[in-house]
Amino acid sequence: MKENNRIYKSIRNSTYAILGQIITIALNFISRTIFIHTLGAIYLGINGLFTNILSVLSFAELGFSTAIIYEMYAPLANNDKKRVASLMNFYSKVYKYIGSSIFIIGIFLIPYLHFFIKDPSIIPANLPPLWIIFLLFLLNTSASYFFSYKRSIIVASQNSYIDSINQMEFNIIRNILQISVLFFFKSFVSFLIIQLVCTFLSNVFISIKANKLYPYLRNKKKEKINYETLHNIKKNVFAMAFNKLGGVAVSGVNNLMIAKFVGIVAVGYYSNYLLIINTIKTIFVQFFIPITASIGNFVVTKTKEESHILFLKLLFINAYIAIFLSICLSTLINSFIIIFWGKDFVFSTTLTLLIIFNFYIDRIRQSSQIFIDVNGLFWQIKWRAFCEAVFTIILVSILLIKFNMEIEGVIIGTLLNNILINLWWEGYIIYKYIFKKRVLKYLLLHIKYILVLIFCYICTSSISSLIPNSIIGFFLKTLISIVIPNIIMITIFYHTKEFQYFKDILSKIITHKIYNHE
């Protein structure tokens, strides 16, 4: 009964999450298209630059939310309201400090904004002062920390569909208003003000919903966490800070280096690819985020061998989806950009394939990251992220400055980091500390999945390359990129236990035969 209930909640959460993302994605692309045609590439670059600066400042969060969610799995499963309340009270206090810290640091950065731009003279005269634009970005980021922490209890309790609905509703409102402002007034400042207001209201409404679902949170505001829990959180947050550092180095710092050494327009062009890649990544993650809480519940009640079997099944699903999405991207991304934004915004085939292969390597790590999170292995993994940050920054700097490479240098540096540092290290940690097994099987599986990816790409691209770039051609390429990789993967994996498990899950989603049995 509990197993069915766990699966039901996972499917429900994933379904709402994916539905919300599909709606939001459609509006985001309409908004981006109007943004490009009304404001242009330089505004797009400024938007991308300031987004990246704020992502670097968000390092102050230190991975705290992940550590807290991990601590909440057990008390939520045991209905320990006192402990849950104490964790949320501590969470609230820390997030207020984080939000304030980000705002203060951001204010100090304002006089130095031009430093991040290679050639400030290209900034249009009609662009509002950079400090005003940056301040709106800063408020949007820092203010969210004062309310958004209550999303965590909803996610940890396997009710993330509520959060998905909240975000879907406000994303729809935000995009409609932003599209209207761009279309009628061409106002970048109004565009950002709408974003700020909608983010604030979304967090307020989810906070109100959390209070209704968990009324004891309001009655236990004085509950404090015990020393042992505080010690565990500090230890995990310290370790997660290293993990966060790696992410900041790979995404935020790399993009800042593009702005500084390649140019602000290049940031705008690259941001188009990142929008598409991150959109697909968001859909990908939405399948796994709701499952994370259920896996957390699973690993605390099952044996190591049962957890290992589940991991192999999850890794297969991870690989299947990552391969499929990578093939779709390799076939469609440049055609999409040509149709909607123009051929001037398209990168070379080589650079595009590097970006997509990096996407695949990054996404295939999802299953390992989930098991690291739900098992609380933040301390054990901490040095991996530190090495990731140092390796990436040094390598990308050499490629950009010494070899005068442009965006290719950033992608190659990030790709080598993902392969040489992240992929094997994460596998080593989970196999050593969770499964107590050798990591060789894990690495061989990755080689196998990469070979399948390459074979799918060769077969798909050899056919799709014959089709011209047009709207009709785009739909034909879409059909090809959906059919061919699935035929290949089904043929290869059909008789495996992992594929049958995946097929059963898909069957339950499609036929709605899962019921909520307690």
| pLDDT tens track, the chain, 518 positions | 555 566 666 677 767 777 877 888 888 889 999 999 999 999 999 999 999 899 888 876 767 777 788 788 888 888 888 888 898 888 888 889 999 999 999 999 999 999 999 888 888 888 889 999 999 999 999 988 887 778 888 877 777 788 888 988 999 999 999 999 998 999 999 999 999 999 999 999 998 988 888 888 877 777 888 888 888 888 878 777 776 777 776 777 778 899 999 999 999 999 999 989 988 887 787 677 667 777 887 887 888 899 999 999 999 999 999 999 999 999 999 999 999 899 999 999 999 999 999 999 999 999 999 999 888 887 888 788 788 888 988 999 999 999 999 899 999 999 999 999 999 999 999 999 999 999 999 999 999 999 999 999 999 999 999 998 889 999 999 999 999 999 999 999 999 999 999 998 888 767 754 444 33
Same domain (yes/no): 36, 158: yes
Same domain (yes/no): 373, 453: yes
Taking the mean position of all CA atoms in its chain, how far away is CA 57? 17
Residue 485 lies in a domain: yes
Number of Cβ within 10 Å of residue 448's Cβ equals 12
Residue 505 lies in a domain: yes
Residue 261 lies in a domain: no
Q: What secondary structure letter does DSSP report for 221? A: T
270 with 409: CB under 8 angstroms?
Answer: no
- What residues make up the domain containing 173? 1-245
Same domain (yes/no): 425, 495: yes
The number of residues making up the chain comes to 518
Q: State the Cα–Cα distance between residues 122 and 506, nearest whole angstrom.
A: 51
Tokens of 231: 């010690």
Q: State the Cα–Cα distance between residues 68 and 133, nearest whole angstrom.
A: 33
Domain end call among 226, 245, 264:
245
- Host H or E run for residue 499: helix 497-511
Domain end call among 222, 245, 268:
245
Q: State the Cα–Cα distance between residues 196 and 141, nearest whole angstrom.
A: 8
- What type of residue sits at position 39? L
Phi and psi for 33 in degrees, rounded to 5? -60, -45
The model carries a pTM of 0.81
Same domain (yes/no): 6, 81: yes
Q: What secondary structure letter does DSSP report for 177? A: H
Query: Based on the structure, what is the number of domains in the chain?
Result: 2
Same domain (yes/no): 148, 234: yes
Q: State the Cα–Cα distance between residues 106 and 395, nearest whole angstrom.
A: 27
Residue 268 lies in a domain: no
b/e per residue, 395-407, with b = 16+ CB within 10 A? bbeebbeeeebbb
**CA nearest to 30, candidates 269, 279, 200, 285:** 279
Q: State the Cα–Cα distance between residues 144 and 152, nearest whole angstrom.
A: 13
Same domain (yes/no): 413, 326: yes
Q: Is the dihedral of CA 207, 211, 217, 221 positive or negative?
A: positive
b/e per residue, 454-491, with b = 16+ CB within 10 A? eebbebbbeebeebeeeeeebebbbebbeebbeebbee
Helix axes 349-364, 440-464, angle to 10 degrees: 150
Phi and psi for 88 in degrees, rounded to 5? -70, -35
Residue 430 lies in a domain: yes
Same domain (yes/no): 164, 233: yes
Residue 163 lies in a domain: yes
Same domain (yes/no): 308, 238: no
Residue 257 lies in a domain: no
Number of Cβ within 10 Å of residue 72's Cβ equals 23
Domain end call among 228, 245, 262:
245
In angstroms, how far is the first alpha carbon of the chain from the final one?
A: 6
**CA nearest to 250, candidates 346, 349, 358:** 358
Same domain (yes/no): 342, 447: yes
